[in-house]
Chain A
Amino acid sequence: MVAAVSPVFRARLRIGLLIVFTALVETTLGSDLRVAQVAPDLMVLLVICAGLTGGTESGAWVGFWTGLLYDMFLTGTPVGLSALTYCMVGSAIGALRTTFLQERRALLPIAAFVGTLAAVLLFVAAGTILGQSQLLGGGRSWIIRVMIVESLWNAVLALPAGYIYARVARGSAGAERVGAPIPTRTA
């Protein structure tokens, strides 16, 4: 029975469980780890790892479902806002990775820093355009503080998170469609 389940499906299942586990950690431990009142956003870090490991499509899918699950824990913003933001960030990171970014040791922390900055900015901008003006309630200084602290947190946590995601996505031979090795440009 177990053998009948395709490796690709198993890999997707593992990624799904990782998303749920990350949501639990984010909503319990993550919110306790506040620096200057700002908590890390582990969900967007997972999405960035998915984009870097699996490319554009994987980044978009993981971003959408991660954001949608995260939206279920938020009460101040409409369902779909995080899904929209994370989907766009995941696919953008994936697209940059497959077309532009070369493999380097510092790639993951830098991508986590820049991707998180973009995610916070996009979340606030998209939310405001879609009528969620309370996101601007804390003022510009609060948004900048959130952007910087969240990005620094994710840059620090990027290497272990990237390692865990790569293990989960590539754990089985058939997981290539989800966690495929990153295509590199050839001359």
Chain B
Amino acid sequence: MAVYRRSTRTRNVIAVLVLAALTLVTIDARSQGVGVLSDARSKISDAFAPLQRATHAALRPIGNFLTGALDYGSLKKENEDLRRQLAQAQASQAQALAQQQESDQILRNAGLTVPSGVPGVAARIIDVGPSNFDNTVTIDRGTSSGVAAGQPVEAAGVLVGTVRSAQPHVATVELVTDPSFDIGVALAGGNTGSASGTGRALPLRIRVISTNLKPPQQKVGDVIVTSGLDTERYPRGIPVGRVTKILDVPGAIEPEIELAPLVDPLQLSALEVLLWSPP
């Protein structure tokens, strides 16, 4: 009899906990980011931020050591590649500067504004998305530093994501590789497209927007930048990624383009949030 009571109690406990969890999921999914549970999540996330920052500072060297040991071969090759890319970048920098000045002059002559000089806030990464299904990082700057949801986030001048949510002292950045990330990009021949993430360590995919224009003649290796059109969330001209593959879609005029992000934010410790909002 005692065994029966214990078994019934256990079943009841499990049933209550499962129902409680299902109720929480339903409430949170229906509230769509606004409500008691979202508030609780924000407050707990904010309250844990100093602890996370301290733990991260203390444990980061261990993590770096272990990561370095696990990835020694690839890191050595990556280092060589980066040295070569740096040399190429330095050579093309002077050329790019001259072209930029010329481009700005043309825009000014045409009476168009150049969205340059957007102020930014430097932030440190304190948490690199704990879940393997959540392509986000947490940074140590929040609404108290002017950070707000929707702002673009860069690393070394390259777009790495957007602010998904911001609390007073921390913010969550959704990375470009997240399947829910979507951004307008400029393509060759005056075309535009929509670049979407497909998952961590996977390329972005560009869907070309159909127009009367000739399909874009992109080449592998081209750098794709944000379009900055009127309805877009980001300023024009921020590099997003490099073309790695051009796929012909059966039955479609426009190709599908795959794009590799230019930087891996998981290897970085600092980002910059652009304090920019669409006009």
On A, residues with C-beta under 8 Å from B are 23-39, 41, 56-57, 60-61, 63-64, 67-68, 70-81, 83-84, 87-88, 91, 120, 123-124, 127, 130-131, 134-135, 137-139, 142, 146, 150
Can you give 23 A-B contacts (C-beta < 8 A)?
A28-B56, A28-B59, A29-B55, A32-B66, A56-B10, A61-B17, A72-B45, A74-B130, A74-B131, A75-B41, A75-B164, A76-B131, A76-B133, A77-B131, A79-B27, A79-B41, A80-B21, A80-B22, A84-B21, A84-B22, A134-B178, A137-B180, A139-B198
Q: Does B162 belong to the interface (CB within 8 Å)?
A: no
A36 neighbours in B (Cβ, 8 Å): 201
Map CB proximity to A onto B13-38 as digits: 1 under 8 Å, 0 otherwise: 11001101111111111000000010
Map CB proximity to A onto B54-67 as digits: 1 under 8 Å, 0 otherwise: 01100110111011
B200 neighbours in A (Cβ, 8 Å): 37, 138, 142
Q: Are A142 and B63 in contact (CB under 8 A)?
A: no
Are A64 and B28 also in contact (CB < 8 A) when A24-B55, A75-B164, A138-B198 are? no
Lowest 6 A-B CB distances belong to which pairs?
A: A137-B179, A138-B199, A32-B63, A80-B24, A84-B21, A78-B28
Q: Are B14 and A91 in contact (CB under 8 A)?
A: yes
Main SS of the interface on chain B?
Answer: helix
Chain B interface size, under 10 / 10 to 19 / 20 to 34 / 35 or more: 35 or more
Q: Does B113 belong to the interface (CB within 8 Å)?
A: no
Q: Does B48 belong to the interface (CB within 8 Å)?
A: yes
A131 neighbours in B (Cβ, 8 Å): 29
Q: Does B44 belong to the interface (CB within 8 Å)?
A: yes
Query: In this complex, what residue of A is CB-closest to B65?
Result: A32
Q: Are A60 and B14 in contact (CB under 8 A)?
A: yes
CA distance A29 to B67 in the complex (A): 10
Q: Are B199 and A56 in contact (CB under 8 A)?
A: no
CA distance A162 to B29 in the complex (A): 34
Q: Are B13 and A79 in contact (CB under 8 A)?
A: no
